[in-house]
Chains A and B, each alone.
Chain A
C-alpha cells in the first residue's frame, strides 16, 4: 500500500517566486478572491519524485512485458517518437500562432494525412478527434450531415450495429440522436446477412462495422455487406480499432467503407498513456469531404495553410486541431517504417496471432474455427472449475498482462488475445507455455487460479465495496 500524496507534511519546493501577493487586492476586488487556499499536497521535490516513482513501480506496461490485450494493439512504442515529440518547435508551438510561423507544424500534419490516406484509400481526412470514440462521433455526425443535405424529407433515424461491436459504437450512435438496432452474427462469426437484410430500410443512416471484427475475424462477406448497405441508401462506417491487421495489406476504402476512424494509439504505435491520450483521425470518401470539421490543412505551392471554408462543415469536435503531439509520433512511425516496413505490419500481426492460436487452440475452447486476423478469441474448456477471470488473474502470476476478457459479449467467458507484430516468436512461445501450464493447473489445482494473483502488488480487489462505498477522493478525516 503506497501512501497518499496528501500524507506528506513537508515544505513544498519553491518553483515560482511568490512575488508581492499583497498587490493582488489592489488589482482584483475582494469578492472574487478566495479566503482559504485550496488543499494541495505539502511535499518537497524529493517527496514528489519518490512518491510517483514508487507508483510507477506498481504498474505493468508494454516496456516491462508482453501485453496481449485484445483490440488494443499494445505494440512497442518506439523511443525516437517520444524524443521528437519533445522538440521545442513542436511541443512549444501555440495553436493560435500566425500560419507563417508554423509552416513545419502544418507540413507535418499534412504529411501524416497523406500517409493515412495512402494506406486507407480514402480521399479526405481530419486529425481533430482525440481518440477512437471521438472519431466515431465525428464520423457519425458527418453521415448525419450528409443525409440531411441529401434529402430534407427522408428521415434516416436508425444506425445498425453488429452484436460483436465495441460499446462505443452504440453509445456513439445514441449520442448523435439515432435509434440503435443490433444485427446478429452468424455461426461463422460474420455479420448475419439475412438479419442485416431484415434491418436495412430507408430509415437506416449507416452500419457501423469493425473489420476485422472483435472476434478477430475478417468479415468475409464485406463486399456483399457494403453493397447491401449502399443499395439501401445508407453509408458504411468503419471502426478502425482493428486496422492493424489490414495495414499494408488492404485499404478499407476499397472494401466499401465510406468513413473510418483510425486509432493512432493502436495501429500507429503511439503509447496509450495509461488510458490516453490517443488520437482518432477520421478518413472519408470524396462525397463526405465537404462535411469535414474545420480547419483542413491545405497546401498551395510550397505553402501550408488552414482552410476554414469547408462548404457544409459540421464545425468543430474539439478545441484547436486535435492531439498534435500524438500525430507527431504517428508521423515518425510512418517515416521510420516507410513503404516496405508498413507493408509488413498487418501481415506479421496476422502471422503472430495465428501462431499463438495454433499453440492454444487444442487446449482451450476455440469457438470460431477459422484462421484469425491479428487477434483471436478463446475460452476455458467446459468442465474446468475456473472461469476466465481466474485464468486472467493467474496470467498475472506468470508475469504477463492478461488478454481482454469478457469481450466480445457474444462469446461466453471470452478471452481476446492480440500479440501484435512487434513480439518475437520466442515471446509467443514463452507466453503459450504459460497458458498451457495454466490450463493444466485449471484441471489439477484450480484453487491456484482462484487465489491468483499472488505475485502482484495487491491481490484481487473488492470491487463491489468500491461501488457501494464510493470513496472517489482523498478525505483527510479518515
Chain B
C-alpha cells in the first residue's frame, strides 16, 4: 500500500515539463556509485487489512492494563481517561497540524496551549508554564540546567528518592559538563534532611526532590524549601500532577521550578511514550525558560488572539546561545492534559486523587497484616508505597500475572539496599474488590 497519488503518466508529463528525459537526472548530484541498486531487504508491502491483522497479532502478545488489574506505577500511571480526551486529540485539525508558526491559521493549537499553560500554573501555583517538554526526566534536566545558568553555580543536589531513571538522565546530560551532581540518601523513605544540611552550601545551584517521591512518600517540602533558600539555591520539585488535586501547591511552599511527568493527565501508559514534560517556574526565571511559550495579544482588528512569544530564548533565533535546543515538543499531549483537566475540573481531579490515596492505604493496611510482609517506611504516603515481600519480587509478579494482575515494581534492582521490596501503586481504577482479590492471592503465595 502506498500513499502516492500520481500516475505514471503524471510523472512522465512532469518530467517533460521539467525538461529532463529521466528522473535520475534530477539527482545527478548524488555520487552515482552510492545510489542503492541492491534490495533494501524490506518485506513486501501489506494491504491495510493485512497490516491491521499483523499489528493486532503483535498487540495480542502483550499483557496490558485494560485486560489486567495494574498495581504498577513508578512514573507511569493507569488513571481513568475521560472519553472526551481521545475525541479531541483525534481531531485531524489538531493532530495533523505542525507547530503554530502561522498564528492566523493556528488559533486552535495556540489557544489550547495557552489554556494548558494556565491550567499548569493553577495546579503548581507558579507564575509561568511553557508549552511542554519531552517528558518528566528531560523537564527535570532542563530545570537543573536553568538553575546552574541562573545562579552561576556548578553543583546540584538530588535526592535518591527521586526517580532513578530521571537521575540517570541528569547524569547523562551533565557528564563531562563541569556540573557536579551529589545525591542525598533517605531516612524512613524521605530525603534525609540531616544529610542535606551537611552537604548544602553556597556553591549549590539547586536541590531536586520529588513530591510524592519515588517511594510514594511525602517529603517535608516546607522544611526543605527553607533550608535550600538559606543558601540561595533554587528549590526544584518534580510533581505527580494528579496529587495536586489534594496536596499543597508547590508555589505555596516557595518552589522555584516545578516540573513533572504529565502522563497521568489523560495519556495512556503507552509503553513509556509519548508523554508530557511539564515545566513551570517563577516569573524571575521566565526569560531563561526552555521551550515554546504562547502569549495573548490582539490581531489587526483588535480581536484577542494567541501567538508564540518570548522567542528570543529559542534555538531558531539564538542558535548556540539558546536556553535549550528543544524544537518539537509534545503539543498534542499538552492538549490531552488540557482536555483532561477541563473535563474533570477541580472536583474530578480531587476525586481521582482521593480514590487513589484511599485504595493505596487499603492495600497497605491489608499487606502489613499478611504473614511475612512488612511495610518499609513510616512516612506518610500518597498512592504508592514500598513493602517487603516474603518471596523474590520477580517470582511474586510471575505468580500474579497468572491471575491477570500486573504486580508492583521490583525495587531491589534499582535500590540494592531494599531487597525483596515492591513498589505498589493504586489508582482510582482499582476497585475495592480488585484490592481484596490481590490480598487474597498474596496470602496464598508462600516462601
Can you name 28 A-B residue pairings with CB atoms under 8 Å? A34-B244, A45-B343, A59-B108, A61-B92, A61-B93, A83-B52, A88-B67, A89-B64, A98-B397, A134-B138, A167-B319, A170-B320, A171-B315, A174-B321, A180-B320, A223-B31, A276-B333, A315-B171, A319-B163, A324-B274, A336-B45, A336-B46, A351-B11, A425-B10, A459-B301, A461-B103, A465-B298, A473-B129
- B370 interface residue, CB < 8 Å from A? no
A275-B109, A317-B169, A338-B45 known; A461+B298 contact, CB < 8 A: yes
> B372 near A: Cβ within 8 Å?
no
In contact, B270 and A325 (Cβ under 8 angstroms): yes
Which of chain B's residues 350-375 have a Cβ closer than 8 Å to chain A? 350-352, 354-355, 357-358, 361
From residue 293 to 313 of chain B, which have CB atoms closer than 8 A to chain A?
A: 293-301, 303-305, 307, 309-311
Binds A, one of B82-90, B200-208, B228-236: B82-90
Q: What are the interface flags for A230-261 relative to B under an 8 Å C-beta threshold, 1 for contact and 0 otherwise?
A: 00000000000000000011110011000000
Interface centre among B86, B321, B346 (most CB of A within 10 A): B346
- Sample of 18 further A-B pairs with CB below 8 A, known A27-B358, A402-B102: A28-B382, A56-B108, A69-B98, A84-B51, A88-B59, A91-B268, A94-B271, A108-B58, A168-B315, A274-B109, A276-B330, A316-B137, A316-B169, A318-B135, A344-B4, A358-B17, A458-B107, A472-B129
Q: Top 6 A-B pairs ranked by shortest CB distance?
A: A320-B272, A338-B45, A89-B59, A273-B332, A104-B61, A12-B345
Instruction: List residues of B (33-60) whose CB comes within 8 Å of A's CBs.
Output: 34-36, 39-46, 48, 51-52, 54-60
Question: Closest CB-CB distance, B445 to chain A, in whole Å?
Answer: 16
For B327, list chain A residues within 8 Å (CB).
131-133, 166-168
Are A90 and B59 interface neighbours, CB within 8 A? Answer: yes
Stretch among B152-160, B174-182, B191-199, B434-442 lining the A interface? B174-182
Q: Do residues A96 and B298 form an inter-chain contact, with CB atoms below 8 A? A: no
With A339-B43, A461-B298 in contact, do A474 and B114 touch (Cβ < 8 Å)?
Answer: yes
For residue A36, which residue of chain B has the nearest CB? Answer: B249
Structural contact, A274 and B168, CB atoms closer than 8 A: no
- A93-B271, A337-B45 as given contacts; A175 in contact with B168, CB under 8 Å: no
Given contact pairs A21-B354, A177-B178, A341 touches B1 in the complex (Cβ within 8 A) = yes
Chain A residues whose C-beta falls within 8 Å of the C-beta of B347 in the assembled complex:
12, 14, 18, 37
Task: Please give me the residue from chain B that is nearest to A358 by CB atom.
Answer: B18
Q: How far is it, in angstroms, between the C-alpha of A2 and the C-alpha of B118 when the chains are bound?
A: 16
Q: Decide yes or no: A340 and B44 within 8 Å by CB, A93-B64, A95-B271, A458-B107 being known contacts.
A: yes
Cβ < 8 Å to B, chain A residues 355-385: 355, 358, 370-371, 373
Q: Which residue of B lies closest to A26 (CB)?
A: B361
- Across the interface, B115 reaches (CB within 8 A) one of A4, A72, A172, namely A4
Nearest chain A CB to B307 CB, angstrom units? 5
Contact A49 B87 (CB under 8 A): yes
Tell me if B44 and A320 are in contact (CB < 8 A).
no
| B106 at the binding interface (Cβ < 8 Å) | yes
Instruction: State the CA gap A422–B309 with chains docked (Å).
Output: 33
Indicate if the CB atoms of B117 and A472 lie closer than 8 Å: yes
Q: Is the CB of A74 within 8 A of B98?
A: yes
Which of A91, A119, A141 is close to B40, meaning CB atoms less than 8 Å apart?
A: A119
A293 at the interface (CB under 8 A from B): yes
Residues of B within 8 A of A23 (CB): 354, 358
Q: Which of A275, A348, A392 contacts B292 (CB 8 A)?
A: A275
A41 to B67, CA, bound (A): 32
Q: Which residues of B sit under 8 angstroms from A390, Cβ to Cβ? A: none
Task: Assess whether B433 is interfacial by the CB under 8 Å rule.
Answer: no
Interface size on B, residues (CB 8 A): 198
Determine whether the beta carbon of B172 is less than 8 Å from that of A95.
no
Interchain CB contact under 8 A, A1 and B29: no
Take A43-B345, A471-B295 as given contacts and tell me if A320 and B165 are in contact as well, using a CB distance cutoff of 8 Å. Answer: yes
Cα A48 to Cα B85 with chains together (Å): 10
Which chain A positions have C-beta within 8 A of B138? 130, 134, 317-318
CA distance A108 to B109 in the complex (A): 31
Task: Determine how close the nearest CB of chain A comes to the CB of B52; give it in whole angstroms.
Answer: 7
Let me know if B14 is at the binding interface, CB within 8 A: yes
Q: Chain B nearest CB: distance from A83 CB in Å?
A: 7
Cβ contact within 8 Å between A57 and B93 = yes
**Which residues, 193 to 226 on B, are CB-close (under 8 Å) to A?**
218, 222
The contact of A88 among B57, B64, B321, by CB within 8 Å, is: B64
Assess whether A6 is in contact with B328, with CB atoms less than 8 Å apart.
no
B57 near A104 with CB under 8 A, answer yes
